[in-house]
């Protein structure tokens, strides 16, 4: 596969939907695969209230000749105790997926198009698989049920720092 790989994009980054549109208008999902995962909990994971932090990154590969776009979203959920000031989470769940898209034509498109598509459509398409993965993993870890919130696309002109997003999620998401 003639691969072109772009640098990872991060949740909360500004998305130029005009760059993503030429791809999203013509693609179909061929496959979604879990390519790696992991989880851990401390003995304190069931004790007290926790704030949750969700981070994700996405990278892309494109084969313009064959018309394939591979989007690699990776997610990480960390649960930190509210009453203790600790840097290591009591709960950690990670998963990485690959979404394989087929397009009619990728001619004339640039890395910026693929990055914008991955940041918007790629993450949006992977989010339900991530939510289901977390829900099943938490159940298998014998922890109280946890529902990941819906994925929200931000307006193109909105810029939010990762630190601000983290603070907001910690305030709003007690486990």
Query: What integer is the mean pLDDT of 29-34?
Result: 98
CA distances for 104 relative to 10, 18, 21, angstroms: 27, 18, 14
Residue 158 lies in a domain: no
Residue 3 lies in a domain: no
Q: Residues for the chain: how many in total?
A: 175
Judged against a pLDDT cut of 80, whether residue 171 lies above it is answered with no
Count the helix, strand and coil residues of the chain and give each as a percent rounded to the nearest 5. Answer: 30, 35, 35
pLDDT at 153: 66
**Each residue of 112-166: pLDDT tens digit?**
999 999 999 999 999 999 999 999 999 999 999 988 888 876 655 434 444 444 4
What average pLDDT is seen over the chain? 83
Residue 150 lies in a domain: no
Structure tokens at 33: 């695969």
Residue 20 lies in a domain: yes
Query: What integer is the mean pLDDT of 67-89?
Result: 91
- For residue 55, the domain's CATH number is 3.10.420.10
pLDDT at 156: 55
Residue 72 lies in a domain: yes
Residue 70 lies in a domain: yes
Number of domains making up the chain: 1
Return d(Cα 66, Cα 90) in angstroms, integer.
44
Judged against a pLDDT cut of 60, whether residue 49 lies above it is answered with yes
Judged against a pLDDT cut of 80, whether residue 32 lies above it is answered with yes
pLDDT at 140: 96
Highest mean pLDDT among 54-63, 81-90, 155-164: 54-63
User: How far does the chain reach from its first CA to its final CA, in angstroms?
Assistant: 43
pTM above 0.85, yes or no: no
Range of the domain at 88: 9-144
Residue 96 lies in a domain: yes
Residue 29 lies in a domain: yes
Dihedral sign, CA of 104, 107, 108, 110? positive
pLDDT above 70: percentage of residues in the chain: 78
Dihedral sign, CA of 11, 14, 17, 18? negative
């Amino acid at each position: 596969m003639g691969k072109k790989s772009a640098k990872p994009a991060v949740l909360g980054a500004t998305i130029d939907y005009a760059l993503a549109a030429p791809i999203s208008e013509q693609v179909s999902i061929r496959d979604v695969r879990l390519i790696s995962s992991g989880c851990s909990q401390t003995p304190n994971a069931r004790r007290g209230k926790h704030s949750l932090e969700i981070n994700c990154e996405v990278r892309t590969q494109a084969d313009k000749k064959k018309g394939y776009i591979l989007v690699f979203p990776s997610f990480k959920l960390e649960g930190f105790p509210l009453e203790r000031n600790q840097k290591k989470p009591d709960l950690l769940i990670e998963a990485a997926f690959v979404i394989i898209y087929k397009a009619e034509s990728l001619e004339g498109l640039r890395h910026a198009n693929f990055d914008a598509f991955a940041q918007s459509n790629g993450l949006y398409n992977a989010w339900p698989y991530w939510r289901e993965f977390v829900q099943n993993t938490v159940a298998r870890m014998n922890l109280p049920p946890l529902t990941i919130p819906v994925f929200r696309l931000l307006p193109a002109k909105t810029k939010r720092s990762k630190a601000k997003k983290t603070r907001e999620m910690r305030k709003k998401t007690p486990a």
